[in-house]
Amino acid sequence: MKNQSSAKTNAARFLDGLGIAYEMRAYEVDPNDLTAITVARKVGLPPEQVFKTLLAQTNTGEHVFAVIPGDAELDLKKLAHSSGAKKAELVSLKDVEPLTGYIRGGVTVMAARKPFPAFADETIELHDIISISAGQRGLQLLLAPADYLRATSATLADLTKA
């Protein structure tokens, strides 16, 4: 994998700073369809290898990132349990950008406005390569799961609905 310098995002610069190899892959954005399944088709990967980043808030008021496969649904009870809280709920879309600096369809843990704890679904380790948002719509970063986990200090957990 090589680093492409066409349009560096903060997330890509963050990986550069850690010396982590990645491939940046651009795709055509449809603002009416920002699903990870659509992104997966456009970047040529199966949906379970394209991870989406969601922001949640626990009952203790803590914000946490949940990074799950594109074809899965977040289990909020499992996320709450993993983060040591009783409950968790997704942050409203209007609050995502002020909290993370990223808009829907471009949220990533790396170089977010605030360094919230991150939890990655344990299936992330099943793949040689994963794809995550590069921090803006239309750009994905492809990298090794171990590198992603090192870059984000994410905790592995079972986060998805059966």
Three-state SS for 75-124 is CHHHHHHHCCCCCEEECCHHHHHHHHCCCCCCCCCCCCCCCCCEEEEHHH
Q: Is residue 4 part of a domain?
A: no
Q: Is residue 68 part of a domain?
A: yes
Domain total in the chain: 1
Which residues are CB-contacts of 162 (< 8 A; sequence separation ≥ 6)? none
Q: Is residue 99 part of a domain?
A: yes
- Res. 7: pLDDT tops 90: no
Q: What is the CATH number of the domain that holds 93?
A: 3.90.960.10
Q: Averaged over 38-54, what is the pLDDT?
A: 97
Q: Is residue 2 part of a domain?
A: no
d(CA 162, CA 150): 27
Q: Is residue 84 part of a domain?
A: yes
Q: Is residue 58 part of a domain?
A: yes
pLDDT tier at 2, thresholds 50, 70, 90:
very low
Q: Averaged over 35-50, what is the pLDDT?
A: 96
pLDDT value at residue 5: 42
Give how far Cα 83 sits from Cα of 63, 65, 104, 142, Å.
Answer: 10, 10, 23, 26
d(CA 60, CA 122): 24
Backbone phi and psi for residue 78, each to the nearest 5 degrees, phi listed first: -65, -40
121-130 per-residue burial string, b: 16 or more CB within 10 A, e: under 16: bebbeebeeb
Domain that includes residue 122, residue range: 10-157
pLDDT value at residue 59: 97
